[in-house]
Amino acid sequence: MGPGPSNVAPSVLKAMAMPLVGHLDPVFIKMMEEIKTMLRAVFQTQNLMTFPVSGTGSAGMEFCFVNLIEPGDEVLIGVNGVFGTRMCDVAERCGAKVTKVEAPWGRIIEAQQIADALKESRPKLVAIVHAETSTGAWTPVEEISRLAHDAGALLLLDTVTSLAGCPVKIDEWQVDAVYSGTQKCLSCPPGLSPVSLSPRAMEAATRRKTKVQSWYLDVNMLAAYWGQERVYHHTAPISMNYALHEALRLVLEEGLENRWRRHERNHLALKSGLEATGLVLAGQEGHRLWPLNAVQVPNGVDEAVVRKKLLNDFNIEIGAGLGPLKGKIWRVGLMGETSSLPNVKAFLSALGQILNESGRKTNAEATSAAAAA
């Protein structure tokens, strides 16, 4: 129940254990096609260039920037947590001139902020994090997309924690470049990064004046490998693709809408359960993610001790706060297979026991201190 990797379905684990075939085997090539088709369904896009990058979510982020950015290009990046901050670093390493649009960690990037920033710059690319895994903030995309396109920019979206856990509609929202990870709401082990580029983004990538600085992530070569030409580029991680194939099949079997509703239901169950014991979710009202729940650490509680007890005594992993939220929040993932009512109940019960126990200890210490005095 941390911020990922989430639990993995037995059939996905079983797929990982299947014997290897070659990466040019007809069986594997058929599987590559099916993965692309299923990924398009999950991203809700018709983009031809939709496939899993052979690396983790951060490789997917880098894939998007290295292909779309050339030295000197301007980019506008929404920064309200770890992953917006990371985007700036990645973009600068591509030689981009970065303008940051910042919000306090835990809050969303408001469309008005983007509108204001676009009055002062003409970026090639506007990049935002749909679902900030470090804070649980859920930034709406549609209005920002309209603003970006009106300004002649491409829109890049991080959906690492949102894909298959809450609505992600790449074509409807006119997103030009998007990346995700396998180990969150897709409930597949980490190791691949599903990405999708719109025809407009592909045009930008193919009309570059300079070579893409990363050979490994160059979409021009990857398009020939994952496309009909099958030009050898690298050896795709076979077993990871077996796993992703099965994980996507399970997502579509459940149905995207059903899956979103399940994530919403369990998020609300967690929220109610916490409130019943006097705890609250951190973050901005109306913009809290379903898959990633930031729980406020009560005053006087050592959050690290609680996390350690959860792991060692109850076999439940949750995540710590990062950056300015370190020590202030716990991050409770309800992603993919992990998003279930039994998990919510087990977590609430374990957390309640730990906090009660430490409360009793504190009271006992206070009493004994008072007695001694």
Nearer to its own copies, 78 or 114 (CB): 78
Binding mask 211-250 for its own copies (x = CB under 8 A): xxxxxx---------------xxxxxxxxx--x-------
Total residues in contact with its own copies, by rule CB under 8 A = 56
Which residues neighbour 221 within 8 Å (Cβ) at sequence distance 6 or greater?
A: 215, 231, 233
Q: Is 96 one of the binding residues for its own copies (CB under 8 A)? A: no
Q: Is 181 one of the binding residues for its own copies (CB under 8 A)? A: yes
Contacts to its own copies from residues 250-279, by CB under 8 A: none
Which tokens hold the place of 44?
């809700």
The least distance separating its own copies from the CB of residue 238, rounded to whole angstroms, comes to: 6
With contacts defined by CB under 8 A, name the span among 31-39, 205-213, 286-294, 343-351 that binds its own copies: 205-213
Q: Is 340 one of the binding residues for its own copies (CB under 8 A)? A: no
Which residues neighbour 38 within 8 Å (Cβ) at sequence distance 6 or greater?
A: 245, 248, 249, 251, 252
Contacts to its own copies from residues 300-339, by CB under 8 A: 311, 317, 322
With contacts defined by CB under 8 A, name the span among 103-111, 188-196, 347-355, 364-372 that binds its own copies: 188-196
C-alpha to C-alpha distance for 148 and 126, rounded to whole angstroms = 6
Q: Is 136 one of the binding residues for its own copies (CB under 8 A)? A: no
Nearer to its own copies, 68 or 90 (CB): 90
Nearer to its own copies, 40 or 245 (CB): 245
Cβ burial, residue 44 (10 Å; 0-12/13-18/19+):
middle
With contacts defined by CB under 8 A, name the span among 1-9, 282-290, 297-305, 360-368 that binds its own copies: 1-9
With contacts defined by CB under 8 A, name the span among 115-123, 144-152, 172-180, 206-214 that binds its own copies: 206-214
Q: Is 116 one of the binding residues for its own copies (CB under 8 A)? A: no
Out of 33, 34, 89, 365, the only residue in the binding site for its own copies (CB under 8 A) is: 89
Interhelix angle 26-43/238-254, nearest 10 degrees: 40
Letter for the amino acid at 271?
Answer: K
How many degrees, rounded to 5, is the angle at CA 198 between CA 86 and CA 134?
25
Letter for the amino acid at 125?
Answer: L
With contacts defined by CB under 8 A, name the span among 23-31, 99-107, 245-253, 364-372 that binds its own copies: 23-31
* Alpha carbon separation from 324 to 77, 83, 132, 146, 327 (Å, rounded): 19, 14, 14, 31, 9
C-alpha to C-alpha distance for 299 and 328, rounded to whole angstroms = 9
Within a 10 A sphere around the Cβ of 175, how many other Cβ atoms?
29
The least distance separating its own copies from the CB of residue 98, rounded to whole angstroms, comes to: 13
Which tokens hold the place of 168?
């992600």
Q: Is 21 one of the binding residues for its own copies (CB under 8 A)? A: yes
Nearer to its own copies, 19 or 300 (CB): 19
Strand 292-296: give its sheet, edge to edge.
Answer: 292-296, 329-333, 319-320
Which tokens hold the place of 63?
């894939």
- Residues at the site binding its own copies, with contacts judged by CB under 8 A: 2, 4-8, 13-14, 16-25, 54-59, 61-62, 86, 89-90, 92-94, 181, 183, 189-191, 211-216, 232-240, 243, 311, 317, 322
